[in-house]
């Protein structure tokens, strides 16, 4: 790890922060850029909102398009993946009896969005059971694909899951889905800055990613990719000025989505700086982070005598979820925070308590050891 890299982040130095996965953490230099754009807006609110913002949004789309491997014209910014995916869900024109296939590891808020919408439209939401431990990719694909029926119209799948922190083989699923004419919506909330991403090569229909997690942009920096052939039928949840407004882009898709009424778009404009920070400091250290995570996973298994949820190291990257013993004290998260100032998620998933450890460049082996020692004393 580069010396003193943690000083470059705003994080409270008195906290052992092992929860990058939930909301990320922003470096000071990127946060300064965020405030720079906010001040620029307040300095000349009209000029900024009618001209400057569009040119800067374009610069951010270009930087992001290069980074995630797609045409910048296919990207729109949202504050979060839930909003991004909701725009697709509510654009779908499906019949009663049609089916959406997802895994049972999907993010709870989005499962809820699908279920609410599915009930109203009598579309069946199928949550295919992906059993743990995950073994081989081939086994995953066969097991997941068994959920496809002649009624399956859409596959919604995380590339890295939230609760279980596993990388699912979404490329193979997208290839199979394309052959069958099934739409693919990939939830990559955890992916930008975590895995190398090339959306064009993935060849999905829709992709969402959060840049405030592993790319360390300020909170509220997320995007939606929409393949060109779908841009004519996807509708924004909020219609505003569209082509009658100030957006100089020629595509109706961008014009419809970019201006959604007055809002603070400063976070989106930091992307060129956030990507530069990532390339300069984070990219080269990711393997070290993964090694720390793999070691911590092994040590958690030894400490708790509970089995890992993956059979080989290629399922996980900078996060690991590990099952706690069933008798783990229910107030363990509270105690980790209140008595030891360790910020880490401990939660129930499929009737089993889990702890999820994240590692980014500001973390170190002493923090992992501290966590393990504290857990040893608590359980
Ligand atoms: C896999 C996954 N999808 C989607 C989201 C949605 O994030 P938000 O609640 O910010 O929309 C998250 C958030 O952690 C996530 O982990």
Q: In angstroms, rounded to a whole number, what is the distance separating the alpha carbons of residues 200 and 197?
A: 9
Asked whether 362 lines ligand 1 (CB < 6 A), one says: no
Give the H or E element holding residue 288: helix 286-304
Quote the domain boundaries for residue 57.
33-278
Angle between helix axes 332-340 and 365-378 (nearest 10 degrees) is 120
The answer to whether residue 246 scores a pLDDT higher than 70 is yes
Residues 86 and 13 reside in one and the same domain = no
What's the CA-to-centroid distance between 82 and ligand 1, angstroms?
6
Asked whether 189 lines ligand 1 (CB < 6 A), one says: yes
Name the residue of 114, 162, 188, 192 whose CB sits within 8 Å of the most ligand 1 atoms, as the mutation to test its pocket. Answer: 162
Asked whether 110 lines ligand 1 (CB < 6 A), one says: yes
Residues 232 and 314 reside in one and the same domain = no
What's the CA-to-centroid distance between 86 and ligand 1, angstroms?
12
Considering 244, 278, 312, which residue would you say is the last residue of a domain? Answer: 278
What's the CA-to-centroid distance between 42 and ligand 1, angstroms?
30
Instruction: Please report which confidence band the pLDDT of residue 51 belongs to, taking 50, 70 and 90 as the band edges.
Output: very high
pLDDT tens digits, 168-183 = 999 999 999 999 999 9
What's the CA-to-centroid distance between 232 and ligand 1, angstroms?
26
What's the CA-to-centroid distance between 208 and ligand 1, angstroms?
10
Residue 192 β-bridge partners: 195
Q: Cβ–Cβ contacts within 10 Å for residue 261, how many?
A: 8
Given a contact cutoff of 8 angstroms between Cβ atoms, the answer to whether 29 and 276 are in contact is no
Residue nearest to atom 16 of ligand 1 (CA): 162
- Average of pLDDT values for 71-97? 98
Considering 229, 250, 278, which residue would you say is the last residue of a domain? Answer: 278
First to last CA, the chain: 31
Residues 183 and 328 reside in one and the same domain = no
Strand pairing class (183-188; 206-210): parallel
Residues 85 and 230 reside in one and the same domain = yes
Residues 119 and 255 reside in one and the same domain = yes
Give the pLDDT confidence score for residue 157 in this predicted structure: 99
pLDDT tens digits, 272-299 = 999 999 999 999 999 999 999 999 999 9
- Average of pLDDT values for 132-141? 98
Considering 261, 278, 295, which residue would you say is the last residue of a domain? Answer: 278
Tokens of 356: 């999820």
Give the pLDDT confidence score for residue 327 in this predicted structure: 85
Residues 241 and 337 reside in one and the same domain = no
Asked whether 107 lines ligand 1 (CB < 6 A), one says: yes
Residue nearest to atom 12 of ligand 1 (CA): 189
What's the CA-to-centroid distance between 81 and ligand 1, angstroms?
6
Residues 12 and 149 reside in one and the same domain = no
Q: Cβ–Cβ contacts within 10 Å for residue 96, how many?
A: 8
Name the residue of 109, 213, 223, 319 whose CB sits within 8 Å of the most ligand 1 atoms, as the mutation to test its pocket. Answer: 109
Domain count of the fold of the chain? 2
Name the residue of 160, 190, 222 whose CB sits within 8 Å of the most ligand 1 atoms, as the mutation to test its pocket. Answer: 190
Given a contact cutoff of 8 angstroms between Cβ atoms, the answer to whether 237 and 90 are in contact is yes
Residues 196 and 288 reside in one and the same domain = no
CA quadruple 203, 231, 80, 133: dihedral positive or negative?
negative
**Which residues are CB-contacts of 312 (< 8 A; sequence separation ≥ 6)?**
none
Residues 55 and 201 reside in one and the same domain = yes
Asked whether 86 lines ligand 1 (CB < 6 A), one says: no
The answer to whether residue 19 scores a pLDDT higher than 90 is yes
Residues 189 and 307 reside in one and the same domain = no
Asked whether 223 lines ligand 1 (CB < 6 A), one says: no
Q: In angstroms, rounded to a whole number, what is the distance separating the alpha carbons of residues 178 and 204?
A: 8
The answer to whether residue 3 scores a pLDDT higher than 70 is no
Give the pLDDT confidence score for residue 329 in this predicted structure: 87
Given a contact cutoff of 8 angstroms between Cβ atoms, the answer to whether 21 and 319 are in contact is yes
Residues 254 and 339 reside in one and the same domain = no
Does 329 or 232 have the greater pLDDT score? 232
Residue nearest to atom 9 of ligand 1 (CA): 82
Domain with 320 in it: what CATH number?
Answer: 3.90.1150.10
Domain with 96 in it: what CATH number?
Answer: 3.40.640.10
Q: In angstroms, rounded to a whole number, what is the distance separating the alpha carbons of residues 172 and 209?
A: 19
What's the CA-to-centroid distance between 373 and ligand 1, angstroms?
30
pLDDT tens digits, 199-244 = 999 999 999 999 999 999 999 999 999 999 999 999 999 999 999 9
Residues 147 and 70 reside in one and the same domain = yes
What's the CA-to-centroid distance between 90 and ligand 1, angstroms?
18
Give the pLDDT confidence score for residue 1 in this predicted structure: 44
Q: What are the φ/ψ torsions at residue 363 (nearest 5 degrees)?
A: -90, 165
Place of tokens 């229910």: 330
Give the pLDDT confidence score for residue 152 in this predicted structure: 98
């Amino acid at each position: 790890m580069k010396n003193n890299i943690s000083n470059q982040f705003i994080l409270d130095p008195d906290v052992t922060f092992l929860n990058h996965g939930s909301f990320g953490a922003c470096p000071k230099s990127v946060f300064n850029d965020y405030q720079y754009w906010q001040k620029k807006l307040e300095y000349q609110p009209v000029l900024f909102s009618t001209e400057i913002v569009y040119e800067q949004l374009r610069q951010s789309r270009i930087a992001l398009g290069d980074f995630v491997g797609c045409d910048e014209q296919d990207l729109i910014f949202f504050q979060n993946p839930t909003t991004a995916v909701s725009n697709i869900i509510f654009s779908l024109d499906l019949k009663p009896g049609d089916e959406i296939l997802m895994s049972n590891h999907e993010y709870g808020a989005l499962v809820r969005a699908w279920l609410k919408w599915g009930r109203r439209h009598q579309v069946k939401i199928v949550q295919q059971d992906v059993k743990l431990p995950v073994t081989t990719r081939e086994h995953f694909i066969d097991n997941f694909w068994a959920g496809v029926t002649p009624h399956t119209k859409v596959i919604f799948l995380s590339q890295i899951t939230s609760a279980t922190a596993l990388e699912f083989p979404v490329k193979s699923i997208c290839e199979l889905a394309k052959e069958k004419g099934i739409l693919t919506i990939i939830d990559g909330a955890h992916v930008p800055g975590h895995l190398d991403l090339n959306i064009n090569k993935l060849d999905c229909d829709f992709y969402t990613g959060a840049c405030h997690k592993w790319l360390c942009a300020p909170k509220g920096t997320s995007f939606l990719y929409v393949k060109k052939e779908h841009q004519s039928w996807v509708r924004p949840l909020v219609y505003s000025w569209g082509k009658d407004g100030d957006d100089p882009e020629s595509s109706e898709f961008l014009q419809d989505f970019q201006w959604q009424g007055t809002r603070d778009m400063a976070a989106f404009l930091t992307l060129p700086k956030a990507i530069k920070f990532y390339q300069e400091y984070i990219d080269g250290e990711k393997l070290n982070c993964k090694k720390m995570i793999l070691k911590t996973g092994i040590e958690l298994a030894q400490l708790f005598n509970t089995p890992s949820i993956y059979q080989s190291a290629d399922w996980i990257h900078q996060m690991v979820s590990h099952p706690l013993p069933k008798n783990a004290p229910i107030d363990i998260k509270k105690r980790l925070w209140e008595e030891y100032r360790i910020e880490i998620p401990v939660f129930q998933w499929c009737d089993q308590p889990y702890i999820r450890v994240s590692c980014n460049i500001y973390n170190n082996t002493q923090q992992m050891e501290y966590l393990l020692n504290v857990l040893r004393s608590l359980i």
